[in-house]
Amino acid sequence: MLPGDMLRFRHVVDVFRNCCQRWGYREVRTPTLEYLHLFTSTGTLTPGMLRRVYSFLDWDGWSGERVVLKPDGTIPIARLYIDNLSDQEVARLFYVTNIFAFERTGREKRERWQYGTEFLGGTEFTADVEAILLARETMCQMGLGEVELQLSHAGLVKELVREFGLDSGEEARVLNCILEGDWSILEKMEGSNPWLDNLLNGLLNLKGRSSNFLQNIRAISREASPAFRSALDNFINITTSLDDLDCDYSIDVKAISGFEYYTGVCFQFLSGVNRVGGGGRYDDLIPLMGGKKVPACGFALYADPIMELLPGERGNGVERILVRGEELDAGVVNKCFALAKSLRGAGYTAELGFEERKEAGYRWVISISGEGPFVLEDCEGKQRLRVNSEEEVLAAISG
């Protein structure tokens, strides 16, 4: 990232950290290099994602043990929680991390940054609502314009597939396709009951804008299993709450892909066609990884598309001052360093220069020669001043 990119990156991180801290989340960091089996053994990433990890042999690789450049933000946080924080019933954590994925086209970024939160121990639907509102507030404060929120529900989708009564192998195949983003398989399936066809038609082809849509779905799925209806009720609770809190969204069950670990509501944020964030509930992840039965939900925002959407060079509000020595005489050099120190002490950003070249981008250029006074050039006001002491310099630039 170039200086301009880094300014935007830091701005985004600062906003994210401030928001998270105000909601009571605490920052954590996990290693960049992790054991591969952390990601394969839980069955929490799809084979498609696991094929694209950067993995290699560790220092003692003769055992076949491999390490991986972290391909996902949530699983390491879950491990961190299990190993260190599991005595806390509730843990609100956030992180800023880079994640790595293998190239597919030769044009993609291999390293991406994301900012995320994980709310461990949040049992009720209110935890999901909290994640959505926090993500939305963060993006709003970052200065992102219109962001669309799309909602789906992994539990509902899994129960929907189960309604078809397939054998376990076929059911797995259908769910795999869906996780890899291929919904056509479900569209082609014909239910044994007309109500299932109607339900599919409603869920796959319509996009609800309020909880009323889900209430309508509930009305046409009276014959569905209790598990399906329970997942639907959970979804209704979340959307009703979002309605009451004036949070706009659309319900699109297809707005889910990739992560096998989601069990409840899933959401993604879009700015135009760009996916800028996503998250959801993953109640089974911690127990699958050997921890207690701790429900959890979280979200991640994707730095790269967000930075693309933010306005160009974002100033950091710092006025740059150049202290320039006209000669390399020891007295001049000392005077320059001393003045720069005083300026920095007074809260300014002071750079030193001893070369003869035209400088640009400074608010002030202060020239120092052997015996002479300090010559201040006001680059904005286009005027020159001559003063005799550091105090007078500080007084002049503070206006």
Partner 1 sequence: MEYQPVRFALPKGRFLSSTAEFLKEVGLSFSGYDAKTRQYCLESAEFPYLSAKVFQAKDIPVQVAVGNYDFGICGLDWIEELQTRYPASALVSVANLGYGDGNVCVAASEKLGLSRLDELPGGGAYRIVSEYPNLAEGMALDFRLGEFRIIPVWGAAEAYPPENADLAVLWHEGETELKAQRLVSLAELFPVMAYLIANRKSLENKDLSQILGRLSPRFVAREDTSRAAREFFRRDRTALKPVLTGWQAKEIKLALPDGHQHGPTTQLLERAGLNFRGYSGRRISRRPVSDLDWLGIKMIRPQDMPLQVANGNFDLAITGEDWLREHLSRFPSSPVEKLLGLGFGGVRIVVAISQDVPADNVDDLRSLVQEGKLAPIRVASEYVNLADKYLRDNRIDPYKLIPTWGASEAFLPDDADLLIDNTETGKTLEQHRLKVIDVLFRSSACLIGNKDSIIQLGKEEKIEFFLAAFRGAVLQ
Core vs surface per residue 160-194: b (16+ CB within 10 A) or e: bbbbbeeeeeeeeebbeebbeeeeeebeeeeeeee
Q: Which of 24, 47, 165, 331 binds partner 1 (CB under 8 A)?
A: 47
Please give the Cα distance from 310 to 274 (Å, whole number): 13
Q: Which of 5, 14, 65, 248 binds partner 1 (CB under 8 A)?
A: 65
Q: Does residue 40 interact with partner 1 by CB under 8 A?
A: yes
Q: Which of 62, 87, 205, 273 binds partner 1 (CB under 8 A)?
A: 62
For residue 28, what are the CA distances in angstroms to 3, 79, 92, 115?
Answer: 26, 12, 10, 11
For residue 118, what are the CA distances in angstroms to 22, 73, 110, 253, 300?
Answer: 15, 10, 24, 23, 9
Q: Does residue 51 interact with partner 1 by CB under 8 A?
A: yes
Q: Which two tokens stand for residue 179?
A: 């996780």
Sequence-ordered list of residues with C-beta below 8 angstroms from that of 367, at least 6 positions apart, any chain: 324, 326, 374, 375, 377
Which residues are paired to 27 by β-bridges? 94
- In which element (H, E) is residue 295 found? none
Q: Are 283 and 128 in contact (CB under 8 A)?
A: no
Q: Does residue 26 interact with partner 1 by CB under 8 A?
A: no
Could you tell me which stretch among 47-55, 85-93, 196-204, 232-240 binds partner 1 (CB under 8 A)?
Answer: 47-55
Q: Which of 7, 288, 333, 385 binds partner 1 (CB under 8 A)?
A: 288
Q: Does residue 184 interact with partner 1 by CB under 8 A?
A: no
User: Is 29 or 37 the residue whose CB approaches partner 1 more closely?
Assistant: 37
Q: Contacts with partner 1: how many residues (CB under 8 A)?
A: 29
Q: Does residue 59 interact with partner 1 by CB under 8 A?
A: yes
Could you tell me which stretch among 62-70, 88-96, 203-211, 370-378 binds partner 1 (CB under 8 A)?
Answer: 62-70
From the CB of 90, what's the least distance to partner 1, in Å?
Answer: 27
Q: Which of 176, 215, 230, 274 binds partner 1 (CB under 8 A)?
A: 176
From the CB of 105, what's the least distance to partner 1, in Å?
Answer: 6
Closest CA to 364 of 335, 323, 316, 318: 323
From the CB of 81, what's the least distance to partner 1, in Å?
Answer: 20
Q: Does residue 37 interact with partner 1 by CB under 8 A?
A: yes
Binding site residues, partner 1, CB under 8 A: 37, 40-43, 47, 50-51, 59-66, 103-106, 168-169, 171-173, 175-177, 288
